[in-house]
């Protein structure tokens, strides 16, 4: 009997042990989905929007300038400033952050008050303003042409103020510097829009002239008239300058190609002009009314001997606020105007007034009434 009882107890103990094991084995120690769920919820804890939102721009000197935020106090200064300022104001938001401006007139008028309603609130700097005067405006950015880098830019940078240099001298530099401004004002879409507008104006001219042969491109002379210190001089531009580009792209052959190896305007005398005896002559005058200069030349017996004068092809370069020959925002107007003068048969519907009105509306948002009040009265040269 005892042995039977022992056997029964042993069997009961074994059955209980097996039952306990059966309850533990079906449930794995942890579901594998638990860890991925925890990983997914941890990722968003580092919000990227809380990180600094700085940006960089690369200027005309190839330097990279870093900004923690968009500049709010910008100063425009330096020589030839109007060329840079006119380009900067192609960006509608630029005027709100400009607090001080250097001299932007060129003997005739000042364009910025025509397009900036807040111009009177800005500090107007003297054309010779130095680093200390500029620093007094507490700028977080100074913009100037690269030609000012050594004499003016370096002392400003020494004070810890960032400087962005721009060129705006050639058609290629225009595209590059517009892209820089697009970065600076955080508006790359506007920069692309402007680049397309400028390229479209060039393409419209070059496509029309594409079938011309070299013989069909008139021998052309562009002269800058100056009377500095009472001494009258006629000057030709370097081959790489905008003035030469306009003549070449508009279908002319520059006669001065071998006469100016330098980097700036080169003076030429009447004997040289007579030796060239170009078919077309364009006169540029920045500080003396160009109409007066042309009238004087046409009445000069020596100039009357030139073919261009005999054939009524001596032109005062088209001008409104500034002359259209310069690497200013207006240079596509100059390109179209020169092309129409050199090849009137290929541009029979050219209308300088209509072109200018569209330019100011498309690029600066100027309405027709403002154009007729501010720009049209300034037309000089053989603009019509």
pLDDT by residue (tens digit) across 112-121? 999 999 999 9
**Tell me, which fold does domain 55-186 have in CATH?**
Rossmann fold (3.40.50)
Q: Are strands 123-124 and 141-145 parallel, antiparallel or unpaired?
A: unpaired
Same fold, 55-186 and 211-378: yes
pLDDT by residue (tens digit) across 271-285? 999 999 999 999 999
Does the domain spanning 211-378 belong to CATH 3.40.50.1820?
A: no
Distance of alpha carbon 62 from alpha carbon 92, whole angstroms: 26
pLDDT by residue (tens digit) across 291-329? 999 999 999 999 999 999 999 999 999 999 999 999 999
Distance of alpha carbon 370 from alpha carbon 366, whole angstroms: 6
Mean pLDDT score of the chain: 87
Q: Is 206 exposed, middle or buried (0-12, 13-18, 19+ CB in 10 A)?
A: middle
Q: Where are the domains of the chain?
A: 55-186, 211-378
In a 3-state reduction of DSSP, which class is residue 95?
helix
**Which range is least confidently modeled, 45-54, 173-182, 375-384?**
45-54
Whole-number pLDDT of residue 159:
97
Residue 20 has pLDDT above 80, yes or no: no
pLDDT by residue (tens digit) across 163-190? 999 999 999 999 999 999 999 999 999 9
Q: pTM for the full model?
A: 0.85
Distance of alpha carbon 101 from alpha carbon 335, whole angstroms: 29
């Amino acid at each position: 009997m005892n042995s039977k009882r022992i056997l029964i107890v042993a069997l009961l103990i074994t059955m209980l042990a097996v039952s306990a094991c059966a309850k533990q084995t079906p449930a794995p120690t942890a579901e594998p989905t638990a860890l991925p769920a925890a990983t997914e919820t941890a990722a968003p804890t580092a919000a990227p929007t809380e990180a600094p939102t700085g940006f960089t721009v690369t200027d005309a000197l190839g330097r990279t300038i870093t900004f923690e935020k968009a500049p709010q106090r910008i100063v425009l200064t330096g020589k030839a400033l109007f060329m840079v300022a006119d380009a900067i104001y192609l960006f509608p938001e630029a005027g709100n952050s400009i607090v001080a401006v250097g001299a932007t007139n060129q003997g005739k008028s000042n364009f910025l008050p025509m397009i900036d309603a807040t111009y009177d609130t800005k500090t107007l700097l003297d054309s010779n303003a130095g680093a200390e005067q500029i620093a007094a405006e507490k700028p977080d950015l100074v913009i100037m042409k690269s030609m000012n880098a050594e004499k003016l830019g370096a002392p400003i940078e020494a004070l810890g103020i960032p400087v962005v240099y721009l060129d705006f001298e050639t058609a290629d530099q225009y595209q590059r510097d517009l892209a820089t401004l697009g970065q600076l004002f955080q508006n790359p879409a506007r920069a692309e829009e402007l680049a397309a507008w400028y390229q479209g104006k060039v393409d419209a001219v070059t496509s029309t002239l594409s079938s011309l042969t070299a013989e069909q491109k008139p021998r052309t002379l562009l002269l800058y008239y100056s009377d500095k210190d009472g001494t009258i001089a006629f000057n030709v531009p370097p081959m790489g300058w905008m003035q030469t580009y306009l003549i070449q792209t508009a279908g002319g052959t520059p006669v001065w190609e071998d006469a100016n190896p330098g980097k700036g305007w080169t003076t030429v005398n009447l004997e040289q002009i007579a030796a060239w005896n170009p078919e077309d002559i364009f006169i540029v005058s920045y500080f003396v009314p160009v109409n007066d200069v042309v009238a004087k030349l046409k009445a000069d017996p020596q100039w009357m001997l030139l073919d261009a004068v005999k054939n009524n092809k001596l032109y005062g370069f088209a001008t409104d606020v500034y002359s259209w020959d310069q690497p200013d925002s207006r240079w596509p107007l100059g390109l179209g105007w020169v092309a129409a003068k050199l090849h009137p048969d290929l541009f029979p519907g050219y209308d300088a007034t209509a072109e200018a009105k569209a330019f100011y509306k498309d690029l600066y948002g100027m309405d027709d009434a403002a154009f007729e009040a501010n720009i049209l009265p300034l037309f000089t040269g053989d603009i019509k």
